[in-house]
Amino acid sequence: MQNDATLAKAVAFAAANETPFPRDLRAHLEAGHFDPPPHNALLGPVFPRGAPNGLVTRRGETLASWGDTRQADLTFSAAKSYLSLLAGIAWADGLLPDLDEPVRARIHDGGFESDQNAPITWRHFLTCTSEWEGEIFGKSDRIERGRPLGREDQGPGDPQRALQAPGTFFEYSDVRVNRFALCLLRLFRRPLPEVFAERIMDPIGASRDWTWHPYDNSVVEVDGRLLPSVPGGTHWGGGVRIHAEDQALIGRLALQRGAWAGKRIIPERWFDWSFAPSALNPSYGFLWWLNTAGRFPEAPRDSVFAFGAGGNYTWIWPGGEVVAVTRWLDPTAIGPFCGMVAAVLGRG
């Protein structure tokens, strides 16, 4: 395609600012990028990453791109936002009609019987305020306690941190998100990648080049069948492997608040909730990052992001009707990149 010449500066900036993540992601994770030994033991597959790439779209039209935008790579915690979309479908289907209902009312697998976990609601999981205590697939919640706010690239700050009541403390935690994903699996009674393909990816015209890998040990019994439970990231391997073009389609679905080609994929109300600042963290909604509080000063305040470690971002700018995807961008560059794009496209 012919890039919009006015975006040349932003494209060149993104292409020139590659993430410090090495190409050999397995060695990087095994070296303890997220956690020190023994907590860094991988549970799922990890693939070498490719070169930086990305694209900028407006109203569904690709205005600019760089690199190989059909290069399927692991996308780390951007998958958490995909779990939010699946939760929206579960809500629409009546599988979790009340977000403030205790999870234990519908999930009876022993994970919500303790005094600490019994009050946890679906909303708590969606806003990373559950304070769920326990172990899942060999990983304890203690691994991630005390991590700096909103960081998944630092080991535990204080694994002995005393837990707070559910709904009173924000903490970004893959263990708890993985517990949430298991709960969604039990609601749908089908592997989440099947639901994601059938209810989201196929209707929006995405490719089948993406995969969502479980852990080696994350098979559970549901209705007498053994089904894989997938993680909401690649903290310990596994997770979503996808290319930028499909990610842009997912971003466009979110930009259009669940509507696609005149059809309703996810209720619009779900996006009212998802993109609203949560009570304990104004920079977080329902597993989506927000710029409401100006976390990225250069980016428009109405920006919404799916974040993935290593510089994997899907940027949604409702005011400009823009969706952009960056793969393997230096995390310090995402704000300036958004500002460059907004400075150009905000004019028309």
Q: Pick the residue with more confidence: 152 or 89?
A: 89
pLDDT category of residue 4 using cuts at 50, 70 and 90: confident
- Does a structural domain hold residue 142? no
Asked if the model's pLDDT at residue 152 lies above 60, the reply is: no
pLDDT at 159 over 90: no
Q: What is the domain extent for residue 57? A: 5-92+186-345
pLDDT bin (cut points 50, 70, 90) of residue 170 is very high
Domain-located, residue 154: no
For the segment 316-338, the average pLDDT, to the nearest whole number, is: 97
When pLDDT is cut at 50, 70 and 90, the band that residue 348 belongs to is very low
Q: List the single range of 31-35, 215-219, 286-290 with lowest mean pLDDT.
A: 31-35
**Residue 313: CATH number of its domain:** 3.40.710.10
| Residue 250 counted as domain residue | yes
Position 162 in a domain: no
What's the CA gap between 52 and 76, in Å, rounded?
Answer: 15
- pTM of the prediction? 0.96
Question: Residues 130-146: what's their mean pLDDT?
Answer: 95
Q: Report yes or no on 176 lying in a domain.
A: no
Percent of the chain with pLDDT over 70: 96
- Is residue 119 included in any domain, yes or no? no
Q: Chain-centre distance of CA 135, in angstroms? A: 21
Domain-located, residue 240: yes
Tell me the pLDDT tens digit for each residue of 193-248.
Answer: 999 999 999 999 999 999 999 999 999 999 999 999 999 999 999 999 999 999 99
Q: How many domains would you assign to the chain?
A: 1
337-340 LR contacts (CB < 8 Å, sep 24+): 337/10, 337/13, 337/14, 337/17, 338/296, 338/298, 338/299, 338/300, 338/303, 339/296, 339/298, 339/299, 340/7, 340/9, 340/10, 340/13, 340/298
Residue 139 in any domain: the answer is: no
* pLDDT, average across residues 316-322: 97
**pLDDT score, position 178:** 98
Residue at 141: amino acid letter: D
pLDDT in tens, 253-275: 999 999 999 999 999 999 999 99
**Is pLDDT above 90 for 167?**
yes
